[in-house]
């Protein structure tokens, strides 16, 4: 079993982190190809391409200019400790004990617009490049064309060597679109998280994002290796709803008084 997560737009490279063993990304050479393209863009062009503010565009132009294929503890941080969005607030990787962090490294992969696919402890330099960005590149008009086959084949190779060959999709729709499920030769399971509000169950974006991180945390703490074990997920008050689930979409719901 493998779990895939989305990255986060917000980053944390300043807070202290516990010392941990780190690894290096598998697709650094391919990331360098995108950086070469991005370095040719002016801050104004970056702002227009990514639909971000001028100050944010200038910040990222500087990041691209200083990016290097060599990741060290001085210029990079483990991906799971660098991302700082809602998913990662639920995951709280910095508080995981070493065995759980090791399990996370084994079972979780993070989809990335710049790095393609990251293990949680892969060193990553600060960047912003969302998977949906229409950046023309050597392989096509967007990042789905750049990464699709590479990312999918990497996931397929890993799944082929696991007893429980299933992919658990905890990524957003934007990011999971880079995966080509027909090439995986393994089932894809997508947990769905709903909260009770205004007299019915619905997906509330903030809560759903945090729940994805909570489920990844649950898997790490409990050393989950089989998808079926995720049906016991209960963090944050969620519970598996068998009646509203099927083979590919698993429903988790909660009612908070």
- Would you list the domain boundaries of the chain? 2-10+79-254
* Confidence at residue 73, expressed as pLDDT on a 0 to 100 scale: 87
* Confidence at residue 162, expressed as pLDDT on a 0 to 100 scale: 87
Q: What is the mean pLDDT of residues 222-241?
A: 97
Q: Are 192 and 173 in contact (CB under 8 A)?
A: no
The pLDDT tens digits of the residues spanning 117-145 come to 999 999 999 999 999 999 999 999 999 99
* Confidence at residue 244, expressed as pLDDT on a 0 to 100 scale: 98
User: Which residues make beta-bridge pairs with 239?
Assistant: 253
* Confidence at residue 18, expressed as pLDDT on a 0 to 100 scale: 73
Q: How many residues does the chain have?
A: 257
Mean pLDDT for the chain?
96
- Is the predicted pLDDT of residue 187 greater than 70, yes or no? yes
At 106, is the pLDDT very low, low, confident or very high (cuts 50, 70, 90)?
very high
- Is the predicted pLDDT of residue 178 greater than 90, yes or no? yes
Q: What is the mean pLDDT of residues 75-96?
A: 96
Spell out where 6-136 has E strands. Answer: 77-78, 108-112, 116-118, 123-124
* Confidence at residue 20, expressed as pLDDT on a 0 to 100 scale: 76
- Is the predicted pLDDT of residue 17 greater than 90, yes or no? no
* Confidence at residue 257, expressed as pLDDT on a 0 to 100 scale: 60
- Is the predicted pLDDT of residue 39 greater than 80, yes or no? yes
At 41, is the pLDDT very low, low, confident or very high (cuts 50, 70, 90)?
very high
Percentage of residues in the chain having pLDDT higher than 70: 99
* Confidence at residue 59, expressed as pLDDT on a 0 to 100 scale: 97
**Mind giving me the DSSP string for 108-163?**
EEEEETTTEEE-TTBEE------TT----BTTBSSHHHHHHHHHHHHHHHHHHTSS
**Residue 228: C-alpha distances to residues 1, 82, 91, 133, 167 (Å):** 10, 30, 20, 35, 12
């Amino acid at each position: 079993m493998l779990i895939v997560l989305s990255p986060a737009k917000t980053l944390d490279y300043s807070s202290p982190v516990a010392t941990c063993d780190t690894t290096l990304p598998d697709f650094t050479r391919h990331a360098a190809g995108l950086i070469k393209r991005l370095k040719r863009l002016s801050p104004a062009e970056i702002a227009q391409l990514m639909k971000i503010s001028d100050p944010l565009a200038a910040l990222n132009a500087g990041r691209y200019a200083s990016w290097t294929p060599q990741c060290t503890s001085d210029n990079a941080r483990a991906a799971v400790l660098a991302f700082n969005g809602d998913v990662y607030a639920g995951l709280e990787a910095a508080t995981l004990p070493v065995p759980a962090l090791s399990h996370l490294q084994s079972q979780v992969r993070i989809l990335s617009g710049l790095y393609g696919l990251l293990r949680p402890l892969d060193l990553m330099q600060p960047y912003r490049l969302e998977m949906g960005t229409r950046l023309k590149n050597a392989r096509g008009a967007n990042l789905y064309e750049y990464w699709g086959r590479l990312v999918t084949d990497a996931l397929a190779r890993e799944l082929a060597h696991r007893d429980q060959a299933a992919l658990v999709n905890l990524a957003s729709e934007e990011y999971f679109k880079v995966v080509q499920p027909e090439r995986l030769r393994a089932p894809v399971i997508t947990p769905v998280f709903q909260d009770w509000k205004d007299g019915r169950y619905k997906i509330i974006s903030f809560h759903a994002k945090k729940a994805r991180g909570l489920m990844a945390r649950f898997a790490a703490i409990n050393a989950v290796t089989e998808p079926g074990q995720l049906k016991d997920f209960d963090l944050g008050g969620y519970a598996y709803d068998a009646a509203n689930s099927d083979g590919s979409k698993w429903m988790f719901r909660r009612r908070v008084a």
